[in-house]
Amino acid sequence: MSLTASLNSSLAGLRAAQAGIDVVAQNVANATTPGYTRKSAPLESQVNLGVGTGVQRGEIIREVDLRVLRELQTERGNTENLRVISEFLANLDQFFGRPEDEVSVASAVNDLSTALAALADTPEDTAVQRSAVTAADQLAGNLNRLSDAVQSLRQDADDAIRADVDEINQALAEIEDLNLEIAARERTGRSSADLQDRRDVLVGEIAGRMDIQTFTRGGNELVILTASGRTLLDVTARELVFDGRGPMTPDALYNTDASLRGVGTVMLVDDSGSYDLLARGEISSGSIAGYVELRDRLLPEAQDQLDELAHQLALALGAGVVPGTPVTRTTATTLADGTYPFDGLGDKSGNAIQFTIDGVTYSAGDLPIYAASDPGGADAAVEAAIRAALDDNGFEDIEVAVATVGTDHEITFSDPGRHDITGLTFTGSAAIGSPATAATIGPDLSTEATGIDVANIVNPGDSLTVTWRDPATEQPMSITLKAVRPPAEEADQFVLGATAGSTAVTVAQKLAGLLPEGLEVSLSGTVLTFSDADVDANTPNLMAVSITGQAAADTSLPVFADGEGTDQITYTGLDGSGSAKRGFAQRIAVSDGILDDPTALVRFAVDAQGTLSDSGDPTHVLDMLDRLTSRTYQLDGGLGLGSRELTIEDLSVAIVSFQSNQAADQEDRYSFQDGILESVERRFDDQSGVNIDEEMSDLLLLEQSYNASSQILTAVQSMFDALLQAIR
């Protein structure tokens, strides 16, 4: 043992204490740095050749619970996800305005209906007309504004995804570098604690944006995978690519098929190519997931709801609103209606008339006797007798009239096309003057064909009926197809096309599948031709084809149209390729015709010649009011509002309350999740953060140990001094 050894030991003590103070100073300085973890440098006794030679500071290490760190990263991802959704929806909610300001779209619909109610009182007052037009204009403007807001929020979300992807790429590149540095330091036994802190911060940044898994390999090298297990960083960082598209429109939607995709997606690029991470929902947490949810689901849903409202509104207040005179067009193929002359009913008893309907012969027998000098009396008697026979046999719907024409008497049957009147014969004794002649009528037993123009089928509810006689039962059978708007289509319905031609094609196809064997339908332009190739009694015989619908002569202008100015077109809910509904809320506008002349809101054609109604006639206005507030319409089921029937007013309320409820729900979810994140953060910080008191007490110890070592040095020095003094 020597004094030198003591000297060396105390020197080591001084060094160790200094290094310790160094660590404490570092800790205290970073006490409020986010992401900083407390460092410590444990003391180790210094042993040289089995002999203790003092003390040394070990490598600086971090105090981190990796389990809590991972939990923290997961929760941060979940919180970010909810935060962006909640923020965006709150933003959208702002557009609906304060409840008492009544600027929401529901209030706008309500305003329109009150304006129409006022107009019904004084239809001719131009100021009231103008205010109704203004209400309609504001409603359209409200829808446009909301729709624009939805799209601009989608654009913001899209931009944010791009920014997040850039951040992730930068973080990955930095982590790649840090991995190398940390490995190098580990190899040379130097501390990598601060670098690891930095790396954790970067991983945290990535985890806030998308969900990832991490693990460390030898050399403290961090590997990052996506939640689904795709490599993001393993030695080298892979690159994420966001392939943005053009400006955001309601039509721009996500699709797993890249050629149909209207918005950008997040692609993972590696040596083997690129892979769409959104296709199977491989990003389910973090802000990117939130933005994607907003851009591709929540905001398009809001757009769809607005579109549905605009769509229902435009159609309800569209052309053909006026209850025009219903028209019935009938084409009968048999000689059901017709005038059949008979001659000289005579004045003898035993006269009878027989007629055949739907294959069964009935008789109006024992016609009363009338003098030939009283032709009017004879006609009335014959008519009464036939009428009675028709009524007795359940043919109340067939009309019969008998009249004197010249020297003949004519019987006219009119039937609505449901029956097949095939024969009329007279029997009886000879009449004065001329004998009773038998007049027989019936269908011409040759190939029958009849054409009917379906160009007039333009409104939902219009229908087409084909009637034929069933050979087995000899009873008339019929099918009726009803026009509906897309997309609903049931067995007895067909969808209206954008043009009369396309409607006709649909009708023809539908009919071809429904008509019995033996009856055929062909199409030329808008004319459907029905043919009955074989009219014998053993096959179905075509009887009648009829179209029933609303008058097409109505010229009242639709209140709302698609687009503005010279681009304005009539809104039908359809375009060349399908539905024009998507994005209609962005384009809806008051028809130019109405803007130019508000009286068009009141007046309508009262007849086929287009004569306009009086300016004070409230019929049209009341009808529009009814459509707006009382009549219910079937909603498209996929809107989050349920598949149900609502009035337009209720629909607007349902949309606003759906959106505001959704915003409130997301806000709740976010603040709950934020609470979870806070508690995990505190747990992590408490474990790994710096406590100044702790550092101070450490400092006290270090100071004392430093003092003590200096005392020893002083003691050794005085010993050396004493020794040297003794020698001198």
Partner 1 sequence: MRISTFAQNTLVKQNILRLQNEMLRAQNQLATGKTADTLGDLGSSASLSLSLRNDLNRIAQSGKTIAIAETRMEVMQSSFERIHENAEGLSLDALTGAFQNDVRLPTLQVTAEAMLQETIGLMNRSLAGRFLFGGSKTDAPPVEDADTILNGDSATGRFGLLQQIADRARADQVNDVASPGGLDVSTDTGLGTLTIADTSKDGFGFTIESVETSSGITVTTTESATAKSVTLSGLAAVPADATLTVVVRLPDGETAEIEVTADGDFGTGLANLANNLSEDLVELAQSQLAAASAIRAASDFFDTVPPKIVTFDAGGAPSLVEDSATSPKAVWWYAGSTGDTPRAEVAAELDEGTTIRYGVRADEAAVRDTLKHLAVLSAVTFEDDEVEMFRALADKSGRGLQSAMDRTETLINEIGAIQEVTLSVEARNQSVKTLVQTQLGTVEDADAYEISTRLLSYETQLQATYQITGRLQNLSLVNVLSF
* x-or-dash string of contact with partner 1, 595-624, rule CB under 8 A: ------------------xxxxxxx--x--
Q: Which is nearer to partner 1, 574 or 655 (CB)?
A: 655
Out of 107, 142, 169, 303, name the contact with partner 1 by CB under 8 A: 107
* Number of residues located near partner 1, criterion CB under 8 A: 72
Q: Alpha helix locations (H) across 298-374? A: 299-316
Task: Examine residue 693 and tell whether it contacts partner 1 (CB under 8 A).
Answer: yes
Binder among 59, 124, 399, 636 for partner 1 (CB under 8 A)? 124
Residue 220 CB, nearest distance to partner 1 (Å)?
24
Count of CB atoms situated within 10 Å of the CB of 444: 11
Instruction: In angstroms, give the least distance from the CB of 689 to partner 1.
Output: 3
Dump the DSSP string for 193-254. HHHHHHHHHHHHHHHHHS-EEEEEEGGGEEEEEETTS-EEEESEE-EEEE---SS--TT---
Cα R_g (the chain), whole angstroms: 46
Report the C-alpha gap between 539 and 558 in whole angstroms. 47
Q: Which of 40, 53, 56, 122 binds partner 1 (CB under 8 A)?
A: 122
Q: Which is nearer to partner 1, 511 or 651 (CB)?
A: 651
CB of 657 to partner 1, least distance (A): 3
The smaller minimum CB distance to partner 1, of residues 94 and 522, is found at 94
> Applying CB under 8 A, which of residues 130, 439, 703, 710 lies at the interface with partner 1?
703
> Cα(611)–Cα(174) distance, rounded to whole angstroms?
79
Q: What is the C-alpha separation between 185 and 167, in angstroms, rounded?
A: 27
Minimum distance from residue 146 beta carbon to partner 1 (Å): 13
Residue span binding partner 1 (CB under 8 A) among the ranges 91-99, 191-199, 206-214, 308-316:
91-99
Binding mask 4-43 for partner 1 (x = CB under 8 A): ---------------------------xxxx-x-x-----
Contact 544, 330 (CB under 8 A): yes
Note whether 508 binds partner 1 by CB under 8 A.
no
Is 68 a binder of partner 1 (CB under 8 A)? Answer: no
Distance, CA of 327 to CA of 50 (rounded, Å)? 116
Shortest Cβ distance from residue 72 to partner 1 (Å)? 12
7 versus 380: smaller Cβ distance to partner 1: 380
Q: Which of 14, 84, 89, 168 binds partner 1 (CB under 8 A)?
A: 89
CB of 671 to partner 1, least distance (A): 10
Tell me if 138 contacts partner 1 by CB under 8 A.
Answer: no
Which residue matches tokens 């706008």?
108
Q: How far is the CB of 344 from partner 1 (least distance, A)?
A: 23
Residue in the block written with tokens 């006219």: 412
What does 95-121 look like in DSSP terms, one character per residue?
HH--GGGT-SHHHHHHHHHHHHHHHHH
Please report, as residue ranges, which positions from 342 to 361 form the binding site for partner 1 (by CB under 8 A).
none
> Interaction with partner 1 in 645-684: which residues (CB under 8 A)?
649, 653-654, 656-657, 659-661, 663-665, 667, 678, 681-682
**Does residue 149 belong to the site contacting partner 1 (CB under 8 A)?**
no
And the tokens for 435? 């004998």
Round to whole Å and give the CA distance between 111 and 90: 25
Q: Site residues for partner 1, window 448-507 (CB under 8 A)?
A: none
Please tell me whether residue 554 adopts helix, strand or coil conformation. Answer: coil
Taking CB under 8 A as the criterion, the residue among 685, 705, 710, 713 binding partner 1 is 685
Q: Which of 192, 629, 673, 709 binds partner 1 (CB under 8 A)?
A: 629
The token duo for 159 is: 């931009």
Helices (H), 393-494: none
b vs e for 201-232, b when ≥16 Cβ sit within 10 Å of the residue's Cβ? ebbbbbbbbbbbbbeeeeebbbebebbeeeeb
Q: How many residues does the chain have?
A: 728
Number of other residues whose CB lies within 10 A of the CB of residue 277: 21
Distance, CA of 700 to CA of 703 (rounded, Å): 5
